[in-house]
Amino acid sequence: MSRITPRYLSAAALVSVTLLISGCLSNDPEEVEAEGDSGAAEAQPAGENSEPGEDVVIGFSGPAAGHGWIGAITEGAQAQGDEFDDVDLRVSEGTDDVNQQISQIEQFINDEVDAIVVLPFDGAALTEIAIEAMEAGIPVVNVDREFSSPFAARTTILGDNYGMGVSAGEYICEQLSDDPDAVVAEIAGIDSLPLTQERSDGFEEALSDCGLDVDNRVAADFTVAGGESAAANLLQAAPEIDAIWNHDDDQGVGVLAAIENAGRDEFFMVGGAGSANMMREIESGDSVVEATVVYPATQAADGVRLARLLAQDRAMGDLVQIEVPREIQLFAPVVTADNVDQYLPNAFES
């Protein structure tokens, strides 16, 4: 059984790796290329990192799966636990109750698991208990929603929220570059969340590079009902729109319902997260949805892979560095009709 202490925080180099762990753990270039950027719940380990190691127990805690992306996160983590014979993955029941999630991590600490993977419902609220785990010598892998202290996690795996906005803005610029008066709208997620703010900042920055800006903006709440309500308000306020970026494909189901109810189709829409629903809209060729920006649902699955390596005192096979990186940020590719076949098979259902 392997343990780490907070000294890792100063001993390990801070590295940001913009690639998928599924590729990083593989020593087969052809396999990496085939897997693509969206990632899959199904594990395909290859190379020396897939060789059996010391048996380890890994705890996983995440929010309730009331959202398609969150559901895919949990399924992906479980798939990784099932893939490795040397991993006993203990998955706590998903919860949006911060106190319950704290209790789950406390139980992992009491059980003396070898590593913990956490997608916190609220990163700030779970920071203290994550620090306790680290001080107990249990490496913590923080997924997606960051803790408020660097001492709370050995490794952090993040999607690129700012990059999502940039990717969406760049795509819209490519389509509307010859129309400086184009009207661009944005349907954000929960405005109080840093991730939403980062997505909006990236979007605005990318649009400014081609002389466009956000003319109309509303915020929803990452739910179907919220998306429908926010989109209805947007469409009523803006009689003419050329392009819409919707931050989240789950709320996008409601956004599309509002668009259909309003009988509007003069614009194109770019989604966010990369759901199978939106990819099928793209594939159909007769939808306002032309693209979606992937926010990989592999993050917890990648976290389990890294937690396994940390608990076994192993490194990532395709890196020269002998330590697992402190931070890994995944790429935010744009899915269009040209590449939807590559991403659809592994996309999550809203």
Tell me the per-residue pLDDT of 119-157, one tens digit each, with 9 for 90 and over: 999 999 999 999 999 999 999 999 999 999 999 999 999
Q: What is the pLDDT of residues 291-344, one digit of tens each?
A: 999 999 999 999 999 999 999 999 988 888 889 999 999 999 999 999 999 999
Residue 29 has pLDDT above 60, yes or no: no
pLDDT of the residue at 50: 83
pLDDT of the residue at 48: 79
Q: What is the pLDDT of residues 199-210, one digit of tens each?
A: 999 999 999 999
Pair of tokens at residue 211: 């002389």
Task: List the single range of 44-53, 101-110, 193-202, 225-234 with lowest mean pLDDT.
Answer: 44-53
Taking the domains of the chain in order of start, what are their residue ranges? 8-159+296-330, 161-294
Q: What is the pLDDT of residues 205-226, one digit of tens each?
A: 999 999 999 999 999 999 999 9
Residue 160 has pLDDT above 90, yes or no: yes
Provide the mean pLDDT of the chain.
88
Give CA–CA dist 56/21, Å, rounded.
Answer: 19
Q: What is the mean pLDDT of residues 110-122?
A: 97
Q: What burial class does residue 296 get, using C-beta atoms within 10 Å of its C-beta: 0-12 exposed, 13-18 middle, 19+ buried? A: buried
Strand order in the sheet with 327-329: 16-17, 327-329, 155-158, 140-143, 115-118, 56-61, 87-91
Q: What is the pLDDT of residues 250-294, one digit of tens each?
A: 999 999 999 999 999 999 999 999 999 999 999 999 999 999 999
- With b for 16 or more beta-carbon neighbours within 10 A and e for fewer, the 262-275 pattern comes to eebeebbbbbbbbb
Residue 42 has pLDDT above 70, yes or no: no
DSSP conformational letter for 215: E
pLDDT of the residue at 343: 96
Q: Which of 5-9, 65-69, 233-237, 314-318 has the highest mean pLDDT?
A: 233-237
Task: Show Cβ contacts of residue 110 under 8 Å, excluding neighbours closer than 6 positions.
Answer: none
Residue 9 has pLDDT above 90, yes or no: no
CATH class of 161-294: alpha beta
Residue 35 has pLDDT above 60, yes or no: no
DSSP per-residue codes, 29-46? HHHHHHHTTT--SS----
State the residue for tokens 């969340």.
193
Side-chain-side CA neighbours of residue 68 (13 Å): 22
Task: Show Cβ contacts of residue 20 under 8 Å, excluding neighbours closer than 6 positions.
Answer: 35, 37, 39, 296, 298, 302, 330, 331
Q: Report which of residues 66 and 306 the model is more confident about.
A: 306
Hey, what long-range contacts does 173-181 have (CB within 8 A, 24 or more apart)? Answer: 173/206, 173/207, 173/209, 173/210, 173/212, 175/243, 175/268, 175/290, 176/210, 176/212, 176/242, 176/243, 177/210, 179/242, 180/211, 180/212
Give 91-128 as a 3 state SS string. ECCCCCCHHHHHHHHHHHHHCCCCEEEECCCCCCCCHH
State CA 150 to chain mean position distance: 20
Q: Which CATH number describes the domain made up of 8-159+296-330? A: 3.40.50.2300
Length of the chain equals 350
DSSP conformational letter for 306: H
pLDDT of the residue at 47: 52
Give CA–CA dist 61/98, Å, rounded.
Answer: 11
Amino acid of residue 60 = F
Residue 178 has pLDDT above 80, yes or no: yes
pTM (2 d.p.): 0.80
Give CA–CA dist 251/226, Å, rounded.
Answer: 7
Q: What burial class does residue 284 get, using C-beta atoms within 10 Å of its C-beta: 0-12 exposed, 13-18 middle, 19+ buried? A: exposed
